[in-house]
Amino acid sequence: MTDVDTVHDAGRPAADEPTDGRDPVPAAVDWLLGIVTGLIGLALTAVGAAMYARVDRALIADFVTSEEVEVNGLTPAEAIDAGVPFVDWFAAGLAVTGLLLVAVAAAFVVARRRTRRRVTREGGTTATFRACAVYGAAVTALVSFIPGAAVAGGGAAAYLYGESGSGLRIGAVAGLVGWVLTVPLLVAVAGGFLAGADAIGQLAGGAVLVGVIVVAELVALAINAGLGAVGGYLIDRFA
């Protein structure tokens, strides 16, 4: 999500041309995106830390043994034994993911400010490849309630970047960005399943479950990247 790549100079304007004329996304959007992402990260970190500190074996036991909860394939005792390490791993994953989001948000804002200052001095455009991919990922997240939202994100990234023939590539990258930021949480969930399965002597079964989850996530990643590439291609072809 950082933005240190070379400034894209297609249609380079004169040095005295106002910065606003070669800036497809206002600086306020960078700040808004950074602030929202940072706040989400802080919230995840707080939830993860609270869960790690407060959810203990007794609380899990109360939850599992309540009348409303049914754990298929496990006895209540096994569910409790498996739940303790899983909750610890999951809470840690939430906290780490939140901290990563905060760090990435701050790095993005700093990098965009640096790019804008460079463009003010040297000309060109602030629409760098990485920044436009991030904007596309933000669009995907914003309309994620719509099936195939990555098409919109990939299209937005390609439109903002504006370089003919780059739509497929930047659209696919826009589809990947959001997934990459969730990797720590996915790793934590996988670790939690393995630790929980090992706690009840079902490590092999846990490994199979983790394998299924990994394959499903990779398929989802490929679909998201593919849809983003489609959106970028459509912009290249028709815009």
Q: Can you tell me which residue has the tokens 């004329």?
A: 21
The pLDDT of residue 70 is 67
- Taking residues 178-206, what's their average pLDDT? 91
The pLDDT of residue 9 is 44
The pLDDT of residue 230 is 95
The pLDDT of residue 15 is 40
The pLDDT of residue 69 is 66
Q: Is the pLDDT of residue 153 over 60?
A: yes
Tokens linked to 2 = 């950082």
With beta carbons less than 8 A apart as the criterion, state whether 219 and 169 touch: no
State percent of the chain over pLDDT 70. 89
Residue 123: phi, psi to the nearest 5? 85, -175
Domain ranges of the chain: 23-238
Q: Is the pLDDT of residue 51 over 50?
A: yes
* d(C-alpha 91, C-alpha 45), whole Å: 9
* d(C-alpha 112, C-alpha 116), whole Å: 6
With beta carbons less than 8 A apart as the criterion, state whether 214 and 208 touch: no
Ranked by mean pLDDT, the top range of 56-70, 92-106, 176-190 is 92-106
Q: Can you tell me which residue has the tokens 């299924």?
A: 212
The pLDDT of residue 43 is 97
**Residue type at 218?**
L
The pLDDT of residue 14 is 41
* d(C-alpha 186, C-alpha 14), whole Å: 47
With beta carbons less than 8 A apart as the criterion, state whether 108 and 1 touch: yes
Q: Is the pLDDT of residue 36 over 80?
A: yes
Nearest to 88 by CA among 189, 222, 201: 189
Residue 148: phi, psi to the nearest 5? 75, 30
Confidence of residue 90 (pLDDT cuts 50, 70, 90): very high
The pLDDT of residue 23 is 74
The pLDDT of residue 6 is 42
**For residue 238, with 0-12 CB atoms within 10 Å meaning exposed, 13-18 middle and 19 or more buried, which class applies?**
exposed
The DSSP line for 164-180 is TT-HHHHHHHHHHHHHH
Tokens linked to 96 = 């780490």
- Mean of per-residue pLDDT scores for the chain: 87
- Taking residues 13-21, what's their average pLDDT? 41
With beta carbons less than 8 A apart as the criterion, state whether 201 and 122 touch: no
- Taking residues 199-212, what's their average pLDDT? 92
Tell whether pTM > 0.85: no
Q: Can you tell me which residue has the tokens 């304007």?
A: 13
